Amino acid sequence: MKISTRARYGMRLMLDLAFHHGEGPVFLKDIAKSEEISEKYLSQIIIPLKAIGLINSFRGAHGGYVLARPPEKIKLNEIVGILEGNFNLVDCVKKPDECSRVPICVTRNLWKMLGETISMTLEKMSLADLLNQCKKNQERPIIYNI
């Protein structure tokens, strides 16, 4: 399984906003520069994050983006869920009617259990938890793509 670039960059975007939480709006161009991500790509990622109420935007000279809630109130599964989709590793978990082997398939339960474990792990952690891990290692969070 591989998490998409969209979800990874979305997490970096949210973490950058968490780092600046309480300081006022942050320009997308500044996030793009600090995270080394295309501003155009970030502008596409922000749309669903705004739509579910994780980010607020402000227009004008002093505009930009802020977290809609404190970092401790934003669970990581919200971010990954909206950008990645569901946590089903195989189609038959969500749509069992599409596979004739579902009644006899042992591996389907494995994929279902793994997807649920991923979801539960992300649900247990908040954006603040991730930010605190970054702060233990350095002053400013830098997220590397591995």
| pTM, rounded to two decimals | 0.84
- Whether pLDDT at 55 is above 70: yes
Query: Using a CB cutoff of 8 Å and minimum separation of 24, what contacts does 43-49 make?
Result: 45/6, 45/9, 45/10, 45/13, 45/83, 46/13, 48/82, 48/83, 49/10, 49/13, 49/14, 49/79, 49/82, 49/83
Cβ neighbours for 25, distance < 8 A, ≥ 6 positions apart = 57, 58, 62, 63, 64, 65, 66
What mean pLDDT is predicted for residues 32-37? 92
* Contact yes or no for 131/71 (Cβ under 8 A): yes
| Residues 57, 31: Cα–Cα separation, whole Å | 14
Q: What are phi and psi of 9, to 5 degrees?
A: -70, -35
**% pLDDT > 70, the chain:** 93
- Whether pLDDT at 146 is above 60: no
Q: Are strands 55-58 and 64-67 parallel, antiparallel or unpaired?
A: antiparallel
Domains of the chain: 5-86+126-137 (1.10.10.10)
